[in-house]
Chains A and B, each alone.
Chain A
Amino acid sequence: MEIVVCVKPVPESETRLRAASDGMSFDPEGVKFVLAGYDESAVEQALLLKEAVPGSKVHAVAFGPPPRTEEVLRAAIALGCDLATWVEGPAEPSPDPMTAARALARALGPVPHDLVLCGKQAGDDESGLVAAALGELLDIVDFGFVVDLRWDAARSCLTFRRGTEAGEEHWEAPLPAVIGLQQAWNDPRTAKLPAILKSRRAPIAKVPWTPFPPDVGRSVPEKFELPAPRTGARLIEYKTPLEAAEKLVRILREEAKVFP
């Protein structure tokens, strides 16, 4: 099975978030970037499938700026990926997820891909657009929010489950397919030191990126805001529980706008 796993560098989860000086986007200055959490699961799942299906190869692919994109590809190699391809994207402004998906799809065109695995979304922008967009651009089926992904060799199909509002769906799908993974069978492995050292010299295929024409939609960041520091609760004054409930619901709808 030719497995492709798409990976993205995101700020470490403990990062103290800061807006860039123009206030328009997240400031990546001095921030440590790591392999996105769900992508880590996708790599783990890719390696598990490779181990389960003899003759499989795992090819890690990423789109993004240096040096962080190259670093996460090396991390993927250290974990056990066989090949790596880097589509070098611009640092600023950071490309939106649809641009990333289009760039990845273009790079994947000539790459053999029976199964394309992605994390279901990245922990920074949380869009979850890439897997579905890749499915469309590669003209193959895609599924997001997937758990328990397995290869049924006897029937030559993938089986998996996904949680939806209606309950838990069980699916069978033949290859090729794109999967947006929620969870691998087990917790992602950690790379061993010799593998990390070896990954530093591993070859990475580089693919140039050229911007898409203006009639292809994209989104551009305009403002990045952090919540104001908390100063203690505003206590609701009331005489009866009903009055407390009415006041709170009104505040939540009209001031805080957290539910309609």
Chain B
Amino acid sequence: MTPRVLVVGELAGGHLSGASLEALGSALSLAGAASGVVGFLAGSGARAASAEFGRYGVSDLRCAEGTDYDSGPAARVAPAVVRAATDAGADTILVGGTTFGRDLIGRLAARWNAAAAAGVTELRAEGGGVRVRRPVFGGRATETRRLEGPRRVLALRPHAFPLPPEAPVEVRVSPVAVEETTAALRSAKRTAVSAVSSGSGPGLTDATIVVSGGRGLRSPENFRLIEELAQSLGAAVGASRAVTDAGWRPTSLQVGQTGKAVSPQLYVAVGISGAIQHLVGMVSSRVIVAINSDPSAPIFKVADYGIVGDLFEVVPALTAEVRRVRGL
């Protein structure tokens, strides 16, 4: 039996977020066909964004409309998602692993008596169930788990899955009957959103991809090469101690023994020689890439892949290539 999958979409500027598109892509492979996938959107912009699902072949969209969902905590959306999944006959719910998605799945799994897994990097349907792989212990190990029971809810790790191919179809929108929520759920109130997170967000230590720059950049102005590459990859920016000691960037970005320990899926070290003090902070990353002009730099001993060359030529080319393949 192939799973029937409900994908919870999250909108950013009226479009499905990258994390939602990745969830949609893996829902399509899990269900084997677009007919086995149902979309879900909540909020006042839901209906207007219905074509977003149609673009990737999903014709069945459930919408929970209303401004109540717009700024709400994930807790407020959960009853509508479970209602939609039950209405649609789904046995699996997929969400992108954003702050919202990760807050949501615990509620969904509890409400739906489902199995749950967060931070999933691989998944496949097997014998009516689903098997997942996910990094654990800060990326120092990987576990495989079998989700048992008739229902399951999964949050996918951002950037771990490909985007779905376009296959436009007409979308049929069905409204989701809104269930009454308790007073405590209604009275929680978001009072403000500041554009820039002051360090409390999914930062360096939580990032899936980290791009770090070192002394090889030669000047603070050149550090923008690192920031541009990081932006193209959706990565957090890190720095070696040489960079933060020189004041090119704040010490909060320092990766290493006296800075932060990171273990992302991908760590890109640019112009970093690989002093032991830096290595201890990043060696447990799953995949390490080093770009350095000195072939004898110790960073190449811990890296999986290396480019020996001039970072001022290689990094811009890499940024352009990443943008090209990601359609940015």
Contacts and interface: CB of A to CB of B under 8 A. Distances in A.
Contact of A144 (B99, B116, B289, B306): B99
Given A127-B119, A225-B142, A234-B306, A167 B189 contact: no
Contacts of B99: 144-145, 162-165
Q: Which 8 A-B pairs have the closest CB atoms?
A: A163-B201, A132-B106, A217-B115, A217-B149, A233-B306, A136-B110, A260-B162, A233-B303
A224 B187 contact: no
Given A174-B184, A235-B300, A258-B209, A221 B287 contact: no
Contacts of B135: 126
Interface string B186-223: 01111111111111111100000100000000000000
A168 B202 CA distance: 11
Contacts of B202: 145, 163, 165
Contact of B325 (A161, A165, A249): A249
A132 B106 CA distance: 5
A171 B286 contact: no
B118 to A, nearest CB: 5
Contacts of A221: 143-145
A132 B75 CA distance: 8
Contacts of A253: 325
14 contacts: A26-B136, A98-B109, A129-B105, A133-B110, A144-B99, A147-B200, A163-B201, A170-B191, A215-B149, A215-B150, A224-B142, A225-B142, A252-B305, A258-B287
Main secondary structure of the interface of B (DSSP, over half): mixed
B16 interface: no
Given A26-B141, A171-B188, A241-B314, A163 B197 contact: yes
Instruction: Determine the interface band of chain A, counting residues with CB < 8 A from chain B.
Output: 35 or more
B77 to A, nearest CB: 12
Interface of A: 11, 17, 25-26, 96-98, 101-102, 105, 123-137, 139-145, 147-148, 161-177, 180, 182-183, 214-227, 230, 232-236, 238, 240-242, 244-246, 248-249, 251-253, 256-260
Contacts of A167: 193-197, 201
B70 to A, nearest CB: 12
B102 interface: yes
Contacts of B209: 258-259
Contacts of A126: 118-119, 135-138
Interface of B: 12, 17, 22, 25, 73-75, 78, 98-100, 102-107, 109-119, 131-132, 135-138, 140-152, 159-163, 182, 184-185, 187-203, 209, 233-234, 265-266, 283, 286-290, 295, 300-310, 313-314, 316-318, 320-322, 325-326
Given A25-B143, A170-B191, A130 B106 contact: yes
Nearest to A120: B102
Given A123-B138, A165-B202, A245-B314, 13 more contacts: A126-B119, A126-B137, A132-B110, A136-B106, A148-B200, A180-B103, A214-B149, A230-B283, A230-B304, A233-B304, A258-B160, A259-B266, A260-B160
A165 B98 contact: yes
Contact of B184 (A177, A180, A240): A177
Contacts of B325: 249, 253
